[in-house]
Amino acid sequence: MKNPEFKIKKTEILSDDWYLLNKVTFDYQKKDGNWITQKREVYDRGNGAGILLYNRELKTIVLTRQFRLPTYYNGNPSGMMIEVCAGLLDKDNPEECIIRETEEETGYRIQSVQKVMETFVSPGAVTETLHLFIGEYDASMKVSEGGGLEHEQEEIEVIEWPYDKAYDMIATGEINDAKTILLLQYAKINLGL
């Protein structure tokens, strides 16, 4: 369903080097009935998926740590981020994507996942919808060391921690990634970890 109070007038590609950055000129009808013209930049990097791996018996979770340039550029002194396993859909459905990413990044081959929610990551500028999941793991599912794919230049550290330690790291600011915080809070409320 199209919004009748919104009309795109022009879309210009500003960059398509890594992902797609557009400059969009649009008309928007305000509540008073008057129309105004606005311009915004819209970054399209595709949609993604993320997962919190948990072991209910041991009360542990699996996270990743890797360098994230945008955070470094915006004041994160090391640029390192502690996050749930995540990746872009790359034309897969969200479930297939996150099962693949889980093995590539963490080394765990999981068979099933439970969808928790879909969320827009940064709706003021980024088109991405993120599909968030949880999934149980145990030692028998470990098939490799993980760490990501070399041809994608990934260098990912796999972390297995007690759930309580990770949850406490939200308050200290050591975990400040939104998808990770959402899934840790979901686990606190719904899984009883």
Please check whether residues 68 and 120 belong to one and the same domain: yes
Residue 14, pLDDT score: 95
Note the pLDDT tens digit of each residue in 55-90.
Answer: 999 999 999 999 999 999 999 999 999 999 999 998
Domain count, the chain: 2
Select from 155, 176, 193, 187 the least CA-distant residue to 82.
Answer: 176
Structure tokens given for 189 = 């409320």
Please check whether residues 78 and 158 belong to one and the same domain: yes
Note the pLDDT tens digit of each residue in 121-130.
Answer: 899 999 999 9
Q: Tell me what the pLDDT averaged over the chain comes to.
A: 93
Please check whether residues 30 and 68 belong to one and the same domain: no
Please check whether residues 53 and 112 belong to one and the same domain: yes
The boundaries of the domain holding residue 31 are: 6-44
Q: How far apart are CA 124 and CA 103, in angstroms?
A: 32
Q: How far apart are CA 165 and CA 52, in angstroms?
A: 15
With respect to residue 176, please indicate whether it lies within any of the assigned structural domains. yes
φ/ψ of 69, rounded to 5, equals -55, -45
Q: What is the pTM of this model?
A: 0.91
Q: Which residues contact 172 (CB under 8 A, 6 or more apart)?
A: none
With respect to residue 18, please indicate whether it lies within any of the assigned structural domains. yes
For residue 141, what is the domain's CATH number?
3.90.79.10
Please check whether residues 35 and 61 belong to one and the same domain: no
Residue 2 binned pLDDT confidence (cut-offs 50, 70, 90): confident
Note the pLDDT tens digit of each residue in 89-125.
Answer: 988 899 999 999 999 999 999 999 999 999 998 999 9
With respect to residue 28, please indicate whether it lies within any of the assigned structural domains. yes
Residue 44, pLDDT score: 94
